[in-house]
Amino acid sequence: MCGRTGLSLKREQVQCACSYKPRNTDLYTQPQWLPEHNAGKEYTPSYNIVPTDITPIIVSSSRFKNVAESSRVLKPMMWGIIPPWHKGDYKTHNLSTNNCRLENIRSSKLYSPILNDGGRCVIVAEGFYEWQTTNKLSKTKQPYYIYAPQEDKIKMDEPDTWNNSFDEEDGWKGIRLLYMAGLYNVWQNEDTIIYSYSVITMESNNTLDWLHHRMPAILNNEEQIEAWLDIDNVQPDLALSYLKPVKLLSWHPVSTAVNNSRNKSVDCNKRVPEPKSKATQKTLNSWFVKAEKRKSSDESDTQNKRAKK
């Protein structure tokens, strides 16, 4: 699953980081940032983004009028799709729509129509948080921060090392972002228009199955991003076939401070010491206990032999 992300870049930096080369050109272009709706809520950079927060989402510009500058746009959206049929207060639909399972999209009454209607999008993040559920011996679930592999000198939890820059010839240099496949919908009532999205998840591969059995559908290269966004030329089923479990990721453990959804500070993704494996500790303790028993048994046998003599 994917329940928390991080994105600390400001609006202008996000545009630069999401730059791309349009067809038939050698220069990088920044996607246009479209005006926000979302009941007055705006994108705020944060190290701890939670569902109902607003984040920048890449979508095809063909869904929007008066956009001639680029084929992609950045549209701030709320995390957690509001069902098209919902009436009344948008906060009261009572469905869990933060993630949508890849295996169920085609059979879903919510997600299948959105997919068929061209509601494909890309969620932009510096990384996402996941809590280890595979260690049954631990009473506290250890959180980890997962992100794209970085250049040697770039450390994800030290922004001073990022050295971000952009120009049209070389594009974005600095921190590498994650691009996750998602679906989005436009919901409205009498006086409110809200753009909202869900992150597509899939079964984890051997890169992350030690941590959790689900992982986001991460678009690992420009070909995948282009195919997922090209709603005019790439049909839904073909687009779905581009979603594969990513193999190359980096991660480090973080403190449980991220558990508090109100904590948005830089401390959320700071590296902490790797937790000791309780399974390993249990095995070692068992070995020492057995060794002590063997030693005690051997000493007892020796004493018995002496007594018989």
Spatial distance between the Cα atoms of 127 and 112, rounded to a whole number of angstroms: 27
Ranges of beta strands (E only) in 18-71 are 32-33, 46-49, 54-60
Parallel/antiparallel/unpaired status of strands 193-203 and 171-173: unpaired
18 an active-site residue?
no
Residue 47 φ then ψ, to 5° = -90, 0
State whether the Cα torsion 249-222-198-49 is positive or negative. Answer: positive
What are the tokens at 131? Answer: 């809590």
Q: Coil, strand, or helix at residue 39?
A: helix
Active-site entry in 42, 130, 151, 222: 130
121 an active-site residue?
no
Torsion angle, CA of 8/14/125/77, rounded to 10 degrees? 100
Contacts for 102 with CB less than 8 Å, ≥ 6 apart? 200, 201, 202, 217, 240, 243
Between the two ends of the chain, the Cα-to-Cα distance in Å is 70
Is residue 180 within 8 A of residue 219, CB to CB? The reply is yes
Tell me whether residue 198 is exposed, middle or buried, using C-beta atoms within 10 angstroms of its C-beta: 0 to 12, 13 to 18, 19 or more: buried
Spatial distance between the Cα atoms of 1 and 203, rounded to a whole number of angstroms: 9
Residue 284 to residues 7, 280, 292: CA-CA distances in angstroms?
41, 6, 12
Active-site entry in 2, 18, 121, 268: 2
Is residue 100 within 8 A of residue 80, CB to CB? The reply is no
State whether the Cα torsion 7-188-33-111 is positive or negative. Answer: positive
User: Which residues are catalytically annotated?
Assistant: 2, 130
